Amino acid sequence: MPEFAFGDREISTCQRLVYTSRIATASDASGGHRIRRSGEGADFLDYRRYVVGDDVRRIDWTVFARLRQPYIRILQHETVLHVNVLVDVSRSMAAGSPQSKAALACRLACALAYVALTNGDRVTLATFSDQLGHTLANLRGRAALKRIVTLLKSAPLGGTTDLPTSVDTFCERAKHRGLVIILSDFLAPGGYQEPIRRLLAKRFRVFAIQVLDQLDWGEGVRGPLRLRDSETGRTTDVLASDRYLNEYRRRLREHAERLDAFCTLRGQFYLYASTRDDYAQLVTRGLRERGLLR
């Protein structure tokens, strides 16, 4: 079970933060997020020139009669954002100093859920390791934060990471499109490409937060060692010389860069978080810079 704290100090960091509208997607329910949609909504926003493919039923004939040019009315639609948070609670997330990767992931998950709950959005939170774990679906209101914290604190840390299976299960259960935030170290051998592609195919927006510790970068690993995988228990003998460590770090850096590029090229979001990073900085600066919050 990850040990972390999410109290008034952490909550105060999240005050006045809201999700940016670029991540909002259309939804049946009305909410606080305004999105531009032609032909729907009640509030007039603007006109724009008709282009091929637009529904001709949306052409404002009054304007056409006056200008002899087809124009379409743009209306503003207020919708609700569904924020889905998937937190990796596999065995590999237990490592970390001064806080474990799981603890940092849980604090970020709480912060992101809190921002959604305070803005009237709906939050679905689930843990995963080798499969999708406990889930809290369609939470609304600030009071739901307590349930989220309780769930995360009681989630057992263990098992291997199987992101594809967990995402498949999530996709089957999800009823609303929205934002999917994955908090993990993304070091599982199964890869991350296929699950993210599947989420995108389901028209989810994806925000990948990769949480790593200095141990992942090889800190403290030196000399002849037998390395044991914390999840699978497999071992391998290495002599961690400087050259070998540099090579390892280069590969891990390339892995993180590939994940970042994979998300960015598809219009999705990526954030790197270290267990040594300051929580407040991550929330107020990291998430803002990545365009998730404002």
Partner 1 sequence: MTLLAPGGLWWLLMVVPVVGLFLFRRRISEFEIPALVFWEQTDRRDTLGRWGRRIRRWLSLLLQLLIVLMLVAALSEPVNPAYQAELLVVLDDSATMQTIEEDDQTRFDIGRRIILDRVRGVPTGVRTTVILAGTPPKIIADRETIPQRVRAALSERRPRDVNPQVEQAVTLARRKRQNDASTILVISDRYNAQLAGCADVEWLCVGQPHPNLAVAGVSAATQPGTAQGSAGASPSPQPDEQAINVILTQRGMNATTVTVSLAADGRELARKTVPLQDDSTVVRLSASLAPGDPFRVHVEPSDRFPLDNTACGVWPVPTHVRLQLVTTGNPFLEAALDQPDASLQMLSPEEHKAQRELRPPVDQAANVIILDSPHAAAEEPRRGRFIVFGGRDPFGITRAAVPATDLTPTQWSADNALLRDIDLLRWHIDRTTGMVPPHFAQCVAQSDDVPLIFVVRDPGLPEDARDDFVAIYVNFDLAHSNITRRAGFPVFLWNAIDHLLNRRPEDALISYATGMPLAFPPQRRSDARVVDPTGRDVQAFFDEGRMVVPFPEYAGFYRLDTGGKPLVRALNYVSDGVRAAGKPGEEAVDRPPLPRRTWLATLPPWGVLVAAAAALLLIETLLFHRGIVKMG
Binding residues (CB under 8 A) for partner 1: these are 91-93, 95, 101, 185, 187-189, 213, 215-216, 220-232, 234-244, 247-248, 251-252, 255
Tokens linked to 255: 């892995």
Task: Report residue 79: phi and psi, to 5°.
Answer: -130, 170
Phi-psi region of 218 (alpha: psi -120 to 50; beta: other; left: phi over 0): left
Place of tokens 């889905």: 84
Which CB, 7 or 223, lies closer to partner 1?
223
Q: Is 253 exposed, middle or buried (0-12, 13-18, 19+ CB in 10 A)?
A: exposed
Which CB, 35 or 196, lies closer to partner 1?
196
- Closest distance of CB 206 from partner 1, Å: 22
Dist CA 61 CA 170 (whole Å): 45
Which CB, 101 or 205, lies closer to partner 1?
101
- Closest distance of CB 11 from partner 1, Å: 30
State which amino acid sits at residue 233.
G
Residue from 208, 184, 188, 187 nearest 196 by CA? 208
Dist CA 184 CA 280 (whole Å): 19
Dist CA 94 CA 101 (whole Å): 6
What is the sign, positive or negative, of the torsion defined by CA atoms of 184, 185, 187, 191? positive
Task: Report residue 122: phi and psi, to 5°.
Answer: -105, 145
85 bridge partner residues: 125, 181
- Closest distance of CB 164 from partner 1, Å: 15
- Closest distance of CB 155 from partner 1, Å: 17
Tokens linked to 55: 């529904």
Which CB, 83 or 212, lies closer to partner 1?
212
Which CB, 28 or 242, lies closer to partner 1?
242
- Closest distance of CB 282 from partner 1, Å: 20
Which CB, 121 or 185, lies closer to partner 1?
185
Which CB, 189 or 291, lies closer to partner 1?
189
- Closest distance of CB 104 from partner 1, Å: 13
- Closest distance of CB 245 from partner 1, Å: 9
Cα 1 from chain centre: 21
